[in-house]
Chains A and B, each alone.
Chain A
Amino acid sequence: MVSRPNIHVKSKVAVVGAGITLFRRRMLETPRELAWEAAKQALDSAGLTIRDIDCVVIGSAPDAFDGVHMKGEYLADGSGGLFKPTVRVYVGGGTGVFVPIAAWWHVASGLCRTVLAVAEEKMSPARPHPQGVFAYIWDPVLERPLGPNLLWIFALEMRRYMHKCNASKETIALVSVKNKRNALDHPAAQAAANITVEDVLNSEVLVWPVNRLDVSPVSDGAAALVLASENEARRITDSPVWIEGVGWTLDNTHWYNRELGYPRYVQYAARMAYKMAAIERPWRDIDFAEPYDPFDYKELHHIEGLMLARPCEAPKLLEEGWFDRSGELPTSPSGGLLGVGNPIAAAGLMKAAELFWQLRYEAGARQVKKPVHRGVAQAWGDLMQAGTVVVMGN
């Protein structure tokens, strides 16, 4: 007997359309133009117009990237949100997967029949480098006086993971190699490449153990999904992709007061989503995954947080090709943030969109080899504290 969560839904929720722009280092389009391009494409793919949409959910990460405050309001027209119940959500890097979660509850609650979910980020305007904008996420009293760089926290976490799991930089670099290679088949991709482990190890050392090619690039871009209630979805398409479970949690901002080798907050979010989806053995019941990979070690860290591998087991499975597109449990078949790019909120939504395309067998050259019934996408954010998870099935 599967235990059911105490969550009452008025309707099942399906994804019925998806859209995406190019992901690039620098783009001509304004943030709202990028949002419009992705939103329009998502509507077109579902055969809908903006008049068919009841509610709009917008996701975008720190205002400081685009350099415009009230980004939700700013993006509202390009996202089709005028004169509709419209909301912007934000949980740092976790935002992209939080967008379909928020859109889900709009429909599951019975409040809206159709939702347009749009995520946008334009990181390139910040000068001299968007890294500087991250200075404002640190605690003003305890952390900023030390002159931190955002990469410090990732490097600290990666170093801890390497120590705890006895994982080498060489093994971890295989994630970057895999994802950049997968991205060669993604039309939006910014950082697709055929590279080797040596290329990663020989790239510029930023904060040891993090080299340049261990990290995803700075990107501009947008992505969008259309969600619908069960009745609407069946009218719109013969092949809806169902949202079977959602989960999200926040830990505190005191990241130096906890074990950095394992993301507890991701595990809690995953448990919530799996419970809703009646999944008891995720490592067996999930066919493929889009774990969040802004850094190569993060994919392994998150695979373990998602309980798709035991703690410290992911590096070994990676070496064995377990996570390749032709492997037992393909991860980041899209090419991930390392390969497709990392316009923060849009990158997370790109991962959710990949579940949609894979589960409809529409991913073309990216389609994973095995038959797929169920996939999980996950994002992570803030000061090692936000976990967002969505499970979809066909």
Chain B
Amino acid sequence: MPDGGKKLPGTYLSDKDLRALPGLVEHTPEAKYMFSAGQAQSRFLQGLREGRILGVRCPRCGRVYVPPRSYCEYCFAPTGEWVEVSGEGEVHTAVVSYISTFRERMEKPEIIAVVRLYAPGYSGKGDEYEFPGMFHKLCGVSEEDVMTGRVIGMKVRPRWRPPEERIGSVTDLECFEPVKS
């Protein structure tokens, strides 16, 4: 094959060509969902409403899960033992987003991060690959902090919304912000 000798099948269309086609169908699916958060996450979200970050510990292997799961994925056993973590942790990685979910340009860029949480008594069995952690926004740092790498490893803690604004959602936690030492 395909070394350029023969033209391959397939007909390219410009956006204009596409719009000029006979029988072009436009359709917007209409679907609305109501998702339950489940056994473990419902309690986790209740914790967020109270300004606390909760996890679970596997009684068998000692892994601490944040966000919590109702079963240990490795031992395939129920978890059950709830632990509260301080919420402090360090930035594993962070980026600057200039686009929205639908790829529109955003007026104000957002800083997004993965935070590795400090979990007392966490037994990772020397396997540093896994950790209790959260994916969230980062505030109080600049785009430059992200680009130079200053934020990676930075100690951070949650900035909570005022209690009356909390609804039991990951957004009750407004963002993670640097711990000023």
Q: Which residues of A contact B (CB under 8 A)?
A: 18-29, 34, 37-38, 41, 45, 67, 127-129, 131-132, 135, 140-143, 145-149, 151-152, 155-160, 162-163, 185-188, 205-210, 220-221, 252, 254-260, 262, 264, 357, 362-366
Q: Which residues of B contact A (CB under 8 A)?
A: 1-15, 17-18, 21, 26-27, 29, 33, 35, 37-38, 41, 45, 65-67, 73, 92-103, 112-114, 128-137, 143, 146-147, 149, 152, 169-171
Q: Is B4 in contact with A365, judged by CB distance below 8 angstroms? A: yes
Shortest distance from the beta carbon of B4 to any chain A beta carbon, whole Å: 5
Most buried by B among A128, A162, A257, A363: A257
Query: Which residue of A22, A34, A67, A140 contacts B12 across the interface (Cβ within 8 Å)?
Result: A22
Q: Which residue of A lies closest to B14 (CB)?
A: A26
Task: List, sorted by A's number, 18 A–B pairs whose CB atoms are closer than 8 Å.
Answer: A22-B12, A23-B10, A27-B12, A129-B102, A135-B101, A146-B137, A149-B97, A155-B112, A187-B6, A206-B97, A254-B67, A258-B130, A259-B128, A259-B131, A260-B93, A262-B129, A363-B2, A365-B3
In the complex, chain B residues whose CB is within 8 Å of the CB of A206: 97-99, 103
**Bound CA–CA A20/B129 (angstroms):** 39
Q: In the complex where A141-B35, A362-B1, A364-B4 touch, is A157 in contact with B93 (Cβ < 8 A)?
A: yes
In the complex, chain B residues whose CB is within 8 Å of the CB of A258: 129-131
Most buried by A among B5, B103, B113, B149: B103
**Bound CA–CA A127/B15 (angstroms):** 12
Q: Is A252 in contact with B73, judged by CB distance below 8 angstroms? A: yes
Query: Which residue of A146, A254, A256, A364 contacts B2 across the interface (Cβ within 8 Å)?
Result: A364
Shortest distance from the beta carbon of A312 to any chain B beta carbon, whole Å: 15
Q: In the complex where A20-B8, A146-B170 touch, is A156 in contact with B94 (Cβ < 8 A)?
A: yes
Q: In the complex where A187-B4, A257-B131 touch, is A149 in contact with B103 (Cβ < 8 A)?
A: yes
**Bound CA–CA A28/B17 (angstroms):** 9
Q: Is A207 in contact with B96, judged by CB distance below 8 angstroms? A: yes
Most buried by B among A141, A186, A259: A141
In the complex, chain B residues whose CB is within 8 Å of the CB of A149: 97, 99-101, 103
In the complex, chain A residues whose CB is within 8 Å of the CB of B41: 141-142
Query: Which residue of A18, A156, A221 contacts B95 across the interface (Cβ within 8 Å)?
Result: A156
In the complex, chain A residues whose CB is within 8 Å of the CB of B37: 141
Most buried by A among B4, B143, B169: B4
The majority secondary structure among interface residues of chain A is mixed
**Bound CA–CA A149/B114 (angstroms):** 15
In the complex, chain A residues whose CB is within 8 Å of the CB of B66: 257
**Bound CA–CA A22/B2 (angstroms):** 11
Shortest distance from the beta carbon of A216 to any chain B beta carbon, whole Å: 15
Q: Which residue of A lies closest to B8 (CB)?
A: A22
Shortest distance from the beta carbon of B32 to any chain A beta carbon, whole Å: 12
Q: Is A207 in contact with B97, judged by CB distance below 8 angstroms? A: yes
Most buried by A among B11, B37, B93, B113: B93
Having A20-B2, A206-B98, A258-B129, one finds 14 other A-B pairs with CB under 8 Å, namely A22-B10, A23-B10, A38-B9, A132-B103, A145-B171, A151-B97, A156-B94, A187-B3, A207-B95, A208-B146, A256-B92, A256-B135, A357-B1, A362-B1
Q: Is B95 in contact with A209, judged by CB distance below 8 angstroms? A: yes
Q: In the complex where A131-B102, A159-B95, A362-B1 touch, is A141 in contact with B45 (Cβ < 8 A)?
A: yes
In the complex, chain A residues whose CB is within 8 Å of the CB of B17: 26
**Bound CA–CA A362/B74 (angstroms):** 46
Query: Which residue of A25, A128, A145 contacts B102 across the interface (Cβ within 8 Å)?
Result: A128
Most buried by B among A29, A127, A220, A256: A256
Q: In the complex where A146-B171, A149-B100, A256-B135 touch, is A188 in contact with B2 (Cβ < 8 A)?
A: yes
**Bound CA–CA A184/B4 (angstroms):** 10
Q: Which residue of A lies closest to B153 (CB)?
A: A163
Q: Is B13 in contact with A187, judged by CB distance below 8 angstroms? A: no
In the complex, chain B residues whose CB is within 8 Å of the CB of A145: 169-171
Q: Which residue of A lies closest to B74 (CB)?
A: A252
Q: Is B12 in contact with A24, judged by CB distance below 8 angstroms? A: yes
**Bound CA–CA A128/B28 (angstroms):** 11
